[in-house]
Structure 1
Amino acid sequence: MALAFPALAEPLAVPSGQTVTLAEVLSDENPGALWVRFRFLAPEIARENGKVAPDEAAADMDWLCTNLVLPYLIRHGLSPARVVISLSDRAVPFGVADPTATQFFESYRPVDGRCIWEEF
């Protein structure tokens, strides 16, 4: 069962120059270990009319992990095995496929105050 944590409603500027908004933080046991998912709205990654390329979005997710996710985990006393950061150009309910949405995902292991990128 997933647990939801309050999201930050304030837009946040990231290195690519786009502004993202934390829409949702979900916590679940997957598979048998705590995973915390940070879901961001990032309209600038849209296929049509978007201004941020996938490699720029990946760098933004690295930055978000270090500058937002790690402090959030400490503040909420969470020690997950994995963190997943997703960017979506529009709101899409968790677990629902939307072929019209542009979405990027990255997975990290938080280790010793750092985010270690993990290939899915």
Structure 2
Amino acid sequence: MIRLAVLILAPLPALAAPIATPSGLEVSWVETLQDAQGPDGLTARFRFLAPGIKGGEAAGLDLQAVSADMQWLCDSFALPRLSSTGPRPQQIVISLADSEIPFGETDPEVTQFFEAYRPGAETCEWEMF
């Protein structure tokens, strides 16, 4: 008997196609991770590659604009991608890194920003992280 395994993959956003944020910073979606380690239960972590943040404030980066971009990514990218079936995450974390780094690891050479949000009906509500 021959068994055939079929793997059906949902289309993923094109990593090669950058997303232009309102400030003009270009980011690329890397991955979405879900875990139950958040303070209120299920957390959805949306990780983005953002080479333009290299050096952070030392490079003259406008942190207010980056913060607004992260809010925009939560509202327009993350929130619509939350599951409409099954448990709904109680928290969304948006992270930007100037180069790819494995989740949970640190590297002093990599600039990273993180923001946490509570998913609302139509927008994300910023939470102090």
TM-score class normalised by the smaller sequence: 0.7 to 0.9
Whether the aligned pair in 2 keeps the contact of 1:40 and 1:88 (CA below 8 Å) is yes
Whether the aligned pair in 2 keeps the contact of 1:44 and 1:51 (CA below 8 Å) is no
CA distance in 2, matches of 1:95, 1:6: 26
- State the match for 1:83 in structure 2: 92
Distance 1:75 1:112, change over 3 A: closer
Q: How many residues align?
A: 116
Write out the 4+ residue segments of structure 1 that deviate beyond 6 Å after TM superposition. none
AA aligned to 1:60 is D
CA distance in 1, matches of 2:42, 2:11: 18
CA distance in 2, matches of 1:111, 1:47: 32
Measured on the aligned residues, the alpha-carbon RMSD in Å equals 2.4
Residue of 35, 54, 57 corresponding to 1:28: 35
Give a deviation string over 1:31-82, Cα, whole Å, max 9, x none.
Answer: 4610000000000010179574222111100001111111111567661010
Normalised to the residue count of structure 2, the TM-score between the two structures is 0.79
AA aligned to 2:81 is Y
Whether the aligned pair in 2 keeps the contact of 1:37 and 1:84 (CA below 8 Å) is yes
Structure showing the higher strand proportion among its residues = 1
Q: Give yes or no for the alignment of 1:65 onto 2:74.
A: yes
Whether the aligned pair in 2 keeps the contact of 1:27 and 1:34 (CA below 8 Å) is yes
Residue of 34, 44, 50 corresponding to 2:52: 44
Partner-residue secondary structure (3-state), 2:82: helix
Whether the aligned pair in 2 keeps the contact of 1:12 and 1:20 (CA below 8 Å) is yes
Partner-residue secondary structure (3-state), 1:112: coil
Whether the aligned pair in 2 keeps the contact of 1:7 and 1:22 (CA below 8 Å) is no
CA distance in 2, matches of 1:56, 1:18: 9
1:1-12 superposed matches below 5 A: 8=13, 9=15, 10-12=17-19
- State the match for 1:95 in structure 2: 104
Q: Percent identity?
A: 45
